Structure 1
Amino acid sequence: MRDEIRVLLVDDQELVRYGLRLMLDARPGLVVVGEAGDGAEAIDAVARLQPDVVLMDVRMPGVGGIEATRRITELRPDARVLVLTTYDLDDHAFGALSAGASGFLLKDARPDDLVAAIRAVHAGDAVVSPRITARLIEVAAPHLGAHRPGDGRAPDADAALGELTPREREIFLLIGRGATNGEIAASLFLSESTVKANVGRVLSKLHLRNRVEAVIRAYELGVVG
């Protein structure tokens, strides 16, 4: 098993890629294995370089970040795509959600936050911080047919939640609140390996691809909001 997390940088600005490479290569446990200037290059680089995490810009000429994310997650379902987005979190960024992105990071994030986000998505967590969760739901929910708080429980809520055990419902609630595996483990006095196994079952039973979708699903069902 590799000790280092292999990162692919995708951004149409060479200076941005250069800065990210310098910063990430200086961090223990991370190695930048390649760069791409647009989505088409990114798709090819993923096939050749087998990165663990793809740091993906959204707005690029030619094949953009959303389409590249879709193709990459089809090509390599185990690859994690961390989408770089603006402060406003526009509609285009949320297209990456249905394309299989594992999380969203604001472009003005601190270097330590970027490193933590890369490690989090590599470990199977979603990067949906409390700072952006409300905006995520506000923009993404209409496109996903989401239920709005105050309207009562979604019609299929009881049926969906009935698929989960009591423990899995507790974990689903915490996922919906944006908690990481470590935070869930501490809250419920469980090991992280136990939490990870339960998270996998929750995603499988609710037919969700990743934890970002789980946040939206929790909102849809009125579990959080």
Structure 2
Amino acid sequence: MTAEGARGGAVRVLIVDDHPVVRRGLRTMLEGETWVDGVLEAATCAEAVGIASTEPVGVVAMDVALPDGDGVEATRRIVQGRPETRVLMVTMTDDEDVVGRALRAGARGYVLKDTDPDVIVDALRTVAGGGLVLGPRVGPQMLTSLRRQPVELPPPFDRLTPRERDILRRLAGGDTNARIARHFGLSEKTVRNQLSAVFAKLGVADRVQAALLARDAGLTG
């Protein structure tokens, strides 16, 4: 079964919060939604990552402060393992640094727990459908700030230089060395040398393996 669930486009929701009352309240609201195929619960980072890796979860409502760690790091691990799973942070923390870390870790939205419950449910539905949501009291300047900051890439892609990442994106998009060279105004020999460095850093043998790895990571042009 995919993350879209059994009921034509409906998704499973995972609620991650260490307070049973919070989980129960959100579950009660979600179970009446036609777009929800089921609700799962987790009280810790470890439980959340474990469930998300084994169950077809479409969207996660993730708290930040959890007993065994940081919900932002749990989000990073979930998204890296299951890129199709969308995460909405639902927390009391409105610190902009935390908001930024969460979005750079792969969260698709951020709302505060004291937001109207109907708004939280709508935010989860929007995120599940591929949208991005920032709650009414989350600084609107956050998206602008994020656009100015470099994207944190997972290993081994974080070892590549900006030019090597650009070349890899073109390769993953199907460009030949000649087309890559023309696009960047380089010689084909330079492109070949750059790709050799890319292959070595990624630990792959050829352009096919590099392209597949890049596509799996969403690193395409």
State whether TM-score is above 0.5.
Answer: yes
Which letter does structure 1 place at the counterpart of 2:56?
Q
State how far apart, in whole Å, the 2-side matches of 1:60 and 1:132 are. 21
Identity of aligned residues (%): 40
C-alpha offsets along residues 135-178 of structure 1, whole Å, 9 cap, x if unaligned?
53588689x37xxxxxxxxxxxxxxxxxxxxxxxxxxxxxxxxx
Tell me the equivalent position of 2:40: 34
C-alpha offsets along residues 66-98 of structure 1, whole Å, 9 cap, x if unaligned?
110000001100000001133634423431111
Which letter does structure 2 place at the counterpart of 1:117?
A
Deviation at 1:111?
2.3
Correspondent of 1:95 among 101, 122, 125: 101
The alignment's C-alpha RMSD in Å is: 2.8
SS at match of 1:8: strand
| Structure 2 residues without counterparts, runs of 5 or longer | 151-217
Residue 44, structure 1, aligned to residue 50, structure 2: yes
Deviation at 1:32?
3.6
Tell me the equivalent position of 1:125: 131
State how far apart, in whole Å, the 1-side matches of 2:105 and 2:47 are. 18
Tell me the equivalent position of 1:14: 20
Tell me the equivalent position of 2:116: 110
Pair 129,20 (structure 1): closer, same or farther in 2 beyond 3 Å = closer
Q: Which has the larger radius of gyration?
A: 2
Q: Relative contact order: is structure 1 or structure 2 higher (C-alpha 8 Å, sep ≥ 6)?
A: 1
State how far apart, in whole Å, the 2-side matches of 1:18 and 1:116 are. 17
| Structure 1 residues without counterparts, runs of 5 or longer | 146-207, 210-225
The answer on whether the counterparts of 2:96 and 2:142 sit within 8 Å (CA) in structure 1 is no
Which structure 1 residue ranges, 4+ long, deviate > 2 Å from structure 2? 85-94, 128-142
The answer on whether the counterparts of 1:9 and 1:55 sit within 8 Å (CA) in structure 2 is yes
Tell me the equivalent position of 1:197: none
Structure 2-normalised TM-score? 0.58
Deviation at 1:16?
0.8
Tell me the equivalent position of 1:61: 67
Which letter does structure 2 place at the counterpart of 1:22?
T
Q: Judge which range, 25-34 or 118-127, deviates more.
A: 25-34
Deviation at 1:134?
2.5
Structure that is richer in helix per residue? 1
Tell me the equivalent position of 1:80: 86
Deviation at 1:22?
1.0
C-alpha offsets along residues 109-152 of structure 1, whole Å, 9 cap, x if unaligned?
2222122111111111100256534353588689x37xxxxxxx
The answer on whether the counterparts of 1:43 and 1:71 sit within 8 Å (CA) in structure 2 is yes
Pair 81,45 (structure 1): closer, same or farther in 2 beyond 3 Å = same
Deviation at 1:29?
2.1
| Corresponding residue pairs, total | 148
Which letter does structure 2 place at the counterpart of 1:59?
A
Which letter does structure 1 place at the counterpart of 2:67?
P
Pair 113,6 (structure 1): closer, same or farther in 2 beyond 3 Å = same
State how far apart, in whole Å, the 2-side matches of 1:22 and 1:90 are. 30
